[in-house]
Structure 1
Amino acid sequence: MKQYLLLLAAFAFLFLNTLTGCDEEDKQEQFDDTKQIDSFSFEELDPVVTGVITNTDIALTVPYDTDVTALTPTVTHSALASLSPASETTQDFRLPVDYTVTSEDGSTQVYTATVTKEEPPLDSSNAILNFSFEGLAPVVTAYVGEGEIKAWIPDLSAASNLTPTIVISENATISPASGVAQDFSSPITYTVTAEDGSIQTYTTTITEETEVDLASGPAFTWINWYLSVPIDNGGSATSIYYEDIENNNLSEDAAPFFYLNDDDSYTMYTKFTGATTSGYKEINGSGYCRTELREYWRGNQSTSDNWIMDRKSVHGLASTLSVDFCNGDGQTYVAQIHGRSRTGAPGDPATVKVLWKEGELITEHYVKPTKEGDLWTSKYIRKTSIGQVDNEKFTITLLVKRGVLYYALHCEAKGIDVEYTELYDYATNGYIHDNYFKTGNYFKWNDDKVEDSQVILYSARTAHTE
């Protein structure tokens, strides 16, 4: 009996142990073994790019200009699995990136994500950007317009054998080629072909350069000017127009500031009154007063009609003056090229000025800003001393010829005879503002309302070609 009980107990132990083992086995079989990536996309791109999953390969094609060094994929996968690297983790996809999915039961599956950029579109640019004759002295840079190229050279006989240097759009080709001599006695057509096969033709013509005449003709063409005087007119300086100047019909207040002399010159007197062309200013403020002429270049009485410094045109001012006296700091501006804003060219820069400073003439001109976003301002100014004229009569000429600024200075009493001297190439440096000439007595003083300045203006001649 005792042996029977022992056998029964042993049998029960073995039976229970077997049941327990089966239960543990059942528990192991319940762990999920799914480890699948269901979707892989770049939600940050517009439009969203979704990968194509083939077995364990994930292929994505992104726009050609996408920065693949820092893309952040959104990845969905089996619910009970984990992913490494995790979804929403930024990666560098210049090379394929492996993603490991680990299921609940610990098994793994590796997927490889490969990003390919679309082929960029073929370039459609087919422009001539610059056309010049480097072999001429000085170098001649042509005007390039819509389908046309025009160049002005000193001696037209040279046109029969000229070698152009041509800059064209990237990836484009040109025929005839740059650097190949041509006979420009007759127009030459250049064809620029873009990478995508589209073409643009340019017809090139060469003309002999002629000098504009700033020495003869009427001393003043008043319809091309209006006058500012420092008399308060509702908070700003007073403007006087050509009819009143021609008829000597200035008001009693304006007459002391501008009047005709016996030799047909004009006295231009000024002092700080607070009445400036930019509004009323206080002593020691930001503005100066002036008795100064402002150009209407085509006589149409509109300040919105101005000229530009391009390769096609020529614009000149020859102003003959003398400074009777200039008190205060002894400084007054006697000639200017002033800029005005236009589309793509914000601001109204005082681009070029000629300063009389205690008898010395100094040119001040703005140059191209070196910091992106900066405007053409006095932050970027160059100053050049051009002669000591003291209180003698002199002629200052400002010439913008095919986009390049020159000056000339003549003062017989001082033996000064400076021919045209280049100051700056505005066309090459991207200056596209509208412009107009000014001349007279722009008195650089605002410390008080006592000091004054007086200039005699003998002539102000302008010339323009379009």
Structure 2
Amino acid sequence: MIDLSHWNLTIPVDAEIIQTEDLQTYASPWFIRNADGSITFFAPSSGDGIKSTKNSTYPRSELRETLPNGDDDEANWSLDSAPVHQLSATLTVDSLPASGKAIIGQFHGESNHPPFKLQVARLAGSADTFKINVQHRPKLNGKELRPSFSRPFKLGEEFSYDVQVTSTGKLSVTIDDETVSGQFDIRSYKNDKWYAKAGIYSQEMVSGKGAGRATFYAIDMTHGDKAGDRPEQSRRELQR
């Protein structure tokens, strides 16, 4: 089972936040609990009550990191608060909106320009194939870089991602056996507080067409002295 004890959830209807305590038993068309223990996140671009959050124009069904003790208080951490901060997940991207783009994991800071986003983007001329981009800003509010993984992925194809950022600002994002790296300017981000997010954050404006949909089999966010296990271990536990 996915541990939801240190997350809250924003759903696309009224951009409502489901707090940590309520999330433990929550289910809806936007947050579907499947029989195998996986969770499907669904963010349609239009429909009754579909709204974006403040400072955004896109709908989302997305987890937001909270404190690990199960309280509803939001988690906000600095790069130097632990040697390694790690977000890992195993998932399938099931559908994309008309724009062909969505965010499936991110580290957000205090500004409107997140330091890191993991974006899926449909390949031109293809209905079911996408690439994965590592969008990151080496400096606070600076230019965004967008290196991509070399191989394409299919809708419905299961994969795992592992994102690590160290206290020295080193970023590494691994999918399968490929790693894309980057470097944050720790002086620029010294006073910035970060938090993790995961789910489906559709990149199609509200009132647009289509929907983002992704099914997660494992999600984990840790802060510690070293990198943890890759999410395949959690996936194997789920299948037993």
Q: Structure 1-normalised TM-score? A: 0.42
More helix by share: 1
1:257–1:267 contact (8 Å) kept in structure 2: yes
| AA aligned opposite 1:367 | P
The SS at the match of 2:13 is strand
Residue of 74, 80, 96 corresponding to 1:326: 96
| AA aligned opposite 1:455 | A
2:82–2:223 contact (8 Å) kept in structure 1: no
Q: Give the whole-Å Cα distance in 1 for the aligned partners of 2:196 and 2:95.
A: 23
Give the drift of 1:394.
1.1
- CA distance 1:425–1:350, change in 2 (3 Å): closer
Residue of 347, 351, 363 corresponding to 2:115: 351
The SS at the match of 2:21 is helix
| AA aligned opposite 1:278 | K
The SS at the match of 1:334 is strand
- Give runs of aligned pairs for residues 33-48 of structure 1, distance below 5 A: none
- CA distance 1:257–1:382, change in 2 (3 Å): same
What are the ranges of 5 or more consecutive residues in structure 2 without an aligned counterpart? 123-129, 226-240
| AA aligned opposite 1:356 | V
1:226–1:294 contact (8 Å) kept in structure 2: yes
Aligned to 2:182: 423
Q: Does 1:432 align with 2:191?
A: yes
Q: Give the whole-Å Cα distance in 2 for the aligned partners of 1:311 and 1:301.
A: 21
2:30–2:61 contact (8 Å) kept in structure 1: yes
- CA distance 1:423–1:459, change in 2 (3 Å): same
Aligned to 1:316: 86
Aligned to 1:446: 205
Q: Spell out, residue by residue over 1:316-372, the C-alpha distance to the aligned partner (whole angstroms, 9 max, x if none).
A: 0101111111130111000000002xxxxxx3431100101111100100122xxxx
1:291–1:441 contact (8 Å) kept in structure 2: yes
Q: Give the whole-Å Cα distance in 1 for the aligned partners of 2:37 and 2:198.
A: 17
The percent identity for this pair of structures is: 24
Give the drift of 1:220.
2.4
Aligned to 1:364: 135
Q: Give the whole-Å Cα distance in 1 for the aligned partners of 2:91 and 2:54.
A: 25
Q: Spell out, residue by residue over 1:257-294, the C-alpha distance to the aligned partner (whole angstroms, 9 max, x if none).
A: 11111211111111124512217xxxxxx511100011
Aligned to 2:76: 306
- Give runs of aligned pairs for residues 103-122 of structure 1, distance below 5 A: none
Aligned to 2:214: 455
Residue of 237, 240, 243 corresponding to 2:18: 240
Aligned to 2:33: 260
- CA distance 1:448–1:462, change in 2 (3 Å): same
Give the drift of 1:311.
7.7
Residue of 272, 287, 290 corresponding to 2:57: 287
2:62–2:198 contact (8 Å) kept in structure 1: yes
Give the drift of 1:297.
4.2
Q: Give the whole-Å Cα distance in 2 for the aligned partners of 1:438 and 1:399.
A: 14
1:309–1:426 contact (8 Å) kept in structure 2: no
- Give runs of aligned pairs for residues 35-434 of structure 1, distance below 5 A: 219-232=1-14, 237-247=15-25, 249-250=26-27, 255-273=28-46, 274-278=50-54, 287-299=57-69, 300-303=71-74, 305-310=75-80, 312-340=82-110, 347-358=111-122, 359-368=130-139, 376-377=140-141, 380-386=143-149, 387-391=151-155, 392-403=157-168, 404-410=170-176, 417-419=177-179, 421-427=180-186, 429-434=188-193
The SS at the match of 1:243 is helix
Q: Give the whole-Å Cα distance in 2 for the aligned partners of 1:447 and 1:243.
A: 28
What are the ranges of 5 or more consecutive residues in structure 1 without an aligned counterpart? 1-218, 280-285, 341-346, 369-375, 411-416
2:57–2:206 contact (8 Å) kept in structure 1: no
Aligned to 1:176: none
Q: Give the whole-Å Cα distance in 2 for the aligned partners of 1:360 and 1:323.
A: 11
| AA aligned opposite 2:133 | I
Q: Give the whole-Å Cα distance in 2 for the aligned partners of 1:296 and 1:447.
A: 26
1:311–1:427 contact (8 Å) kept in structure 2: no
> How large is the Cα RMSD of the aligned pairs?
2.2
**Structure of higher RCO (CA pairs closer than 8 Å, 6+ residues apart):** 2
Aligned to 2:232: none
1:316–1:462 contact (8 Å) kept in structure 2: yes
Q: Spell out, residue by residue over 1:194-236, the C-alpha distance to the aligned partner (whole angstroms, 9 max, x if none).
A: xxxxxxxxxxxxxxxxxxxxxxxxx52211001110111xxxx
Structure ID, larger Rg? 1
1:295–1:436 contact (8 Å) kept in structure 2: yes
